[in-house]
A and B are shown apart, each in its own frame.
Chain A
Amino acid sequence: MTLESTNAHESPFDPAAPLTPTGNLRRRRAISRVAESGATLAAALAVGVLGIVVYGVLVHGAGALSLDFFFEGAPNGIGPALVGTAEIVTMATLLAVPLGVLVAVYLVEFGGGRIATPVRLALDVMNGYPSIIVGVFIFILIVEATASQSAIAASVALAIIMLSIVARGTEEVLRLVPDSMREASDALGVSRWRSILTVILPSAVGGIATATILAVARAAGETAPLILLTSNNPGIEVSLNPFEAVPNVPGTIYRLSEEANPEGFARAWGAGFVLLALIMAANVGARVLLNRSRRKMAG
């Protein structure tokens, strides 16, 4: 322990001196400034990379954008692919959200520490593992068994990817619901499940919606499983049959950029731009929703 003052038994500073930096405060200030600018630079770099990607996609893809691009089928547009992606992601959401919310309810309301911890770990591992593995797994499970690619197979794969995002996001907002709410409903002689349905989940609904949107944004851009599970459709016409392969946006981008065709490149960039815009809009929407529900819960 070093004190600034040479004579530590007296007051370490003169209280009447002017309030300018003394001792090693100058040096501490300088270190603090370096650390602050380093952190700022890192943040700027991260945003900068995103900016460059968005700019690149915009420059290359804007030329391909037109009304026809949205409504026509291949090779001029991505209409069927947009519809197909919407179908696959919707089905995946319908599978993943109820399951994910129930998992979160289990973790927060019923699961004790001994069981909840491994479940939580499993969810985090699920969130991290490569989507191609999910794709291969579902390929063996469904596509091989039915001898056909299908929108359903793709939805199941996307649902597995979405599940952990929904469950972990919902778990977090359920933890924000104050325990006094659970105590209040317990003290009224109402069973816990009814309290969950009518008090706890409703007050967490904004956060659940947010987690869902984030999961949808993640699933909408997943490519690897879709190439395995629903790529056998050129996307010339809209097709919705869930038992067949349906065209989809990530698959279309992949196919167009594999072709030795400059026009195809432009369209791939265009499709990429559309996908990116949708995902960014979803993320912004999710933030807005989350902030609103946080305010509501705090109020």
Chain B
Amino acid sequence: MSSVEQQFGQAGFEPTAPVPPSRVRIQSGPLAEAGPSAGRREPAVESVFDVREVSVHYGAKRALQGVNMRIPRSRITALIGPSGCGKSTFIRSLNRMNDSVPSFRLDGEVLYHGHDLYAGNVDEVEVRRRIGMVFQKPNPFPKSIHDNVAWAPRNLGLRHGLDERVEKALRGAALWDEVKDRLKSSAHGLSGGQQQRLCIARAIAIEPDVLLLDEPASALDPIATASIEELMHSLKGRFTIVIVTHNMQQAARVADETAFFGLNAAGGEPVGTLIEHDHTEKIFGHPADPRTRDYVSGRFG
């Protein structure tokens, strides 16, 4: 094991440990009651997320209804479906990015390694430290390439071996060879595809457990998209990856499992829901639900 990996080992965390409030609060108050319910069923592949009957409202508007889904560890799970069916709402619920939306309300349970993400004792900053996210539009900080990647580790107290950590993250994001001679120059000088890979490097620099990618390639040209997909293949196994994509071929190319979200108009007003979730070959080859079949074959309505 290289020294770099040893440092990461020290800096890392046990993904299955309960999600406690941040360090400061641990010191000032008692730890919250132990989280996980005992007797977790162990499926063939361990689940990272176990989503149970999740519905989401924004104020009076219902955005997502009755989603039940397990997301397997160290695999790539793609979320596909038409616009407005709650894919982004769903993925943003997995690391509590929706908390900043004032009218957001979630019912049901999102279990992460058995711990309820929305329990009262859970600190959302700690959640996001373990469950990183990359957004549709590349959003590097107005800092140098190096400082973009080093920023989060520095602020999380992972100062030891920072340069090695930055290099490892940039290599992991398949960006190192392109930027190693200009680490000190501004990240805004990179192309869109490079910026998005920088954002991925920034996210994996703190060695999260899960990477959530919200349409990471939709703002990029086909060549940059190909390099992002290649990157996802190389990250597979190291991280649990959940990706929202509008591009069905992309889902077919990169994902182990695919979940199809659609609109359910049964209750009157159409609301986003999970229609089918299975192995990617199954979804694209022999989907069980006719709505999935229509969608993946390009027939709508």
Contacts and interface: CB of A to CB of B under 8 A. Distances in A.
A12 B202 CA distance: 60
A293 to B, nearest CB: 10
A188 B141 contact: no
Interface residues of A, number: 21
A190 B208 CA distance: 13
A188 B152 contact: yes
Interface string B176-206: 0000000000101000000000010011001
Interface stretch (A88-96, A177-185, A234-242, A265-273): A177-185
Given A186-B100, A189-B206, A198 B132 contact: no
A196 to B, nearest CB: 11
A21 B233 CA distance: 64
Interface stretch (B47-55, B121-129, B290-298): B121-129
B152 A190 contact: yes
B139 A188 contact: no
Contacts of B126: 189
Interface residues of B, number: 32
B223 interface: no
B162 interface: no
Contacts of A180: 135, 137, 139
Contacts of A112: 102
A202 B144 CA distance: 13
Interface of B: 22, 95, 97, 100, 102, 125-130, 132-135, 137, 139-143, 151-152, 155-156, 186, 188, 199, 202-203, 206, 208
28 contacts: A183-B139, A184-B135, A184-B139, A185-B152, A186-B100, A187-B97, A187-B134, A188-B128, A188-B155, A189-B125, A189-B126, A189-B128, A189-B129, A189-B130, A189-B156, A189-B206, A189-B208, A190-B129, A190-B152, A191-B22, A194-B155, A198-B155, A199-B143, A199-B151, A202-B143, A203-B141, A203-B142, A297-B142
